[in-house]
Amino acid sequence: MIRDPFARSWFALKPMSIKPDFDFLIIGGGPAGSVAASWLARAGWNVGVFEREEFPRFKIGESLLPDGNRALKEIGVWEKVEAAGFVKKPGAEFFDENGSRWVHNVFADGLVPGRDYAYQVERSRFDRLLLEHAVECGAKVHQPCGIRRVEFTEDFVRVETSSHERCTGAYLLDAGGRPGMVGVQEKLDKDSLPYSPKVAVYSHFEGVSRFSGKRAGNIVITRLPRGWSWIIPVSDKMTSVGFVGYVADLRETKETPETWFWNAVEGSLFLKERMAGAKPGMKFHVTTDYTYQYRRFGGRRYLLAGDAACFIDPIFSSGVYFAMESSLQAAGVVAGHLRKGASGLKPRAVSGYTRSLKRRVRVMRRLIETFYSDRGFDVFMSPSERFRLFSAVNSIVAGNTRMPFGLWIRYKLFLAIVRLNERISFIRAGRKSARAEPSAERVGHSSGG
């Protein structure tokens, strides 16, 4: 794997009349960090990436979105992703708790053409592939090498690594994910968002009943009375399964997260059937602190990208997508300033970046709110092709948050119907929705059954 190539002497702090060590310092070698690093290095900038963990490492966030393929193409890694043997994801399926209501979003049927599929990825392999690509593009990756402190001056940024070594850059991109190094250190304000705290409990399983044929690679989401669950086929054998519920509920039950998970499975006819005989292939993981968003995604010498900027409920698998999209955008903003020789990011540029990313995140948040609202879910589960509304929702589920007018207007109409239904409840429970008898086969039994 990529090794830390630092030479000790190289780290000695330089007097600041001298050029910084890097044009760009990047905290984190996840999707946000690797995409920005690749893009900037390909554009000829001197980029240093610091990733504290040795790869491959487990990471959740395995279901990608078709609109995210654009970022992968932009940095020239798409062919490698296509050749890596990940599970192809042509759509998303949504069920209610007992499987009696079903909606199947086929990406190829979306309003926006050319977003036909994405991939379900084991993040250990995907993240390593992206980071190695960044190295090939010319980024200098230091790994395992954590950043423990950041210091901003008028003219540069200085970081200190976990082994107390230092280096400098003209700008910093915090792509360090949920720990939010810069946000925490600089005590940045967060927006107050109207969501109850959630917790996710998950693992990889063998022996989960999966759909076959064209549906084999779909993500399957089940809405439960107090939360939801995902089923993501990540390899021939293994399936990622998780349950998301309310922190308050978990506290109240006093159960272990694992028992809580299995109780949620037992309580859903649909999930019980899928999970009969499924066995975890690794320990259970628990993630809390679910939704947050910093007020500003940057300052004079830095920008935040990916989870370091904001995180929303992953029902619609938008995390990696936003990580890659935001880092591309952030890289473009800073590269523009560097090219012009500006001394620091202009406040307008930081606000513009923040506004534009928040606008796109809001598109997904509206769909998430629809999913959590009972009456909204009724609309979501009752697809109608009148005015091509279902095609429009398909496109949003595929991640088209930069909406062309035709999509924008239809999505507005869809949300208006949701709001109306929340008031007068004229659409009920998807009675007219397509209901296929989903055939399932058990995948990944160690017996091969």
Ligand X SMILES: Cc1cc2nc3c(=O)[nH]c(=O)nc-3n(C[C@H](O)[C@H](O)[C@H](O)COP(=O)(O)OP(=O)(O)OC[C@H]3O[C@@H](n4cnc5c(N)ncnc54)[C@H](O)[C@@H]3O)c2cc1C
Instruction: Tell me which residues touch ligand X (CB under 6 A).
Output: 27-33, 50-53, 59-64, 146-147, 175-179, 181, 200, 202, 242, 287, 306-308, 314, 317-321, 323
Output 46 or 287, the one with its CB closest to ligand X. 287
**Which has the closest alpha carbon to 320: 49, 59, 37?**
59
Q: Would you say the C-alpha torsion 16, 18, 22, 24 has a positive or negative sign?
A: positive
Shortest distance, CB of residue 132 to ligand X, whole angstroms? 14
For residue 49, CA distances in Å to 28, 35, 146, 169, 371 come to 7, 11, 10, 11, 37
- Least distance (Å) between residue 59 CB and ligand X: 6
Question: Residue 71 corresponds to which amino acid?
Answer: A
3-state secondary structure of 214: helix
- The residue among 241 and 403 lying less far from ligand X, judged by its C-beta, is 241
* Cβ 342 to ligand X shortest distance, Å: 26
Q: Of 241 and 275, which CB lies nearer to ligand X in the complex structure?
A: 241
3-state secondary structure of 13: coil
User: In angstroms, what is the minimal distance from the CB of 17 to ligand X?
Assistant: 28
Q: Tokens 């940024």 label which residue?
A: 157
Q: What's the CA gap between 339 and 322, in Å, rounded?
A: 25
* DSSP summary character for residue 109: G
Choose between 51 and 122: whose C-beta lies nearer to ligand X.
51
Cβ proximity to ligand X: between 292 and 380 the closer is 292
DSSP 97-143: TTS-SEEEEEGGGSSSTT---EEE--HHHHHHHHHHHHHHHT-EEE-
For the CB of residue 134, give the shortest distance to ligand X in the complex, in Å: 12
CB atoms within 10 A of CB 187: 6
**Residue (62 or 132) nearer to ligand X, CB:** 62
CB of 285 to ligand X, least distance (A): 8
User: Cα Rg for the chain, rounded, in angstroms?
Assistant: 22
Residue 210 CB-half CA count within 13 A: 30
